Structure 1
Amino acid sequence: MRAYLPSYQMVTSQNLLDALELFGSEPGVWRPFAGGTDLMVLLEAGKLAHRNYLNIWHLKELRGIEVANAQVTIGALTTYTEIQSHPVLRAEFPMLCQAASETGGLAIQNRGTLGGNIAN
């Protein structure tokens, strides 16, 4: 039987600077929310006391894979699907791509983020 979600507040910042300002202006009050694959399960189960979330899913500054000067940078909001399909990662880091393909089902791979996995 599904439980009802507890009351919580979700706001969305316009950009990364706005997000950082909100986190800095009220330390400990807000928590980042992106893919939500773990947080929604915990919220529904009533296992999260925290109730104020900042939606950062749309922040392009935290998303994507960049390759430059023999260096690869993977943004925190990069999904497992994006990791699996990137040609450089497939060629140079096949074990990372394999791990991404074994993380959850397709819905989790399409929504779950590398940063969310590290944070949780």
Structure 2
Amino acid sequence: MKPDLDEVWASRILDIKQIRQPENLYDALNNLVMLFVATTSEDDVKLFKYKVAESGRDIRVIEIPVDANISCDWTWENLDQSIEDGYRATNDVLSAYRNTTGDVTVAKLLAASNDAA
């Protein structure tokens, strides 16, 4: 870890709550991959937090929650919904962040990128 690091933002790509009961063999095979990714990403964040605590350094770890409503259907509509849900989750975390630190630098950068899109 960098010596001047005081904050890390973590955004997992998949959560175990997003995995649905399979309707057929194809869904079941997809779930194998998604279960691995979901549990691995959750474990990686836990391990990183543990390593930070073990190091004794004062590093704030901010995790952006994964919305369980996002499904893994491979459709354009689901992609659009996933993007909207991701922005909403990030904005919620940024609002809480601004309320606890008073720092809006990251929020301004994100807002500027949203305006450009």
TM tier, smaller = under 0.3
TM-score by length of 2: 0.24
Q: Give the strand-richer structure, 1 or 2.
A: 1
- The higher radius of gyration belongs to 2
Higher relative contact order (CA 8 A, sep 6+): 2
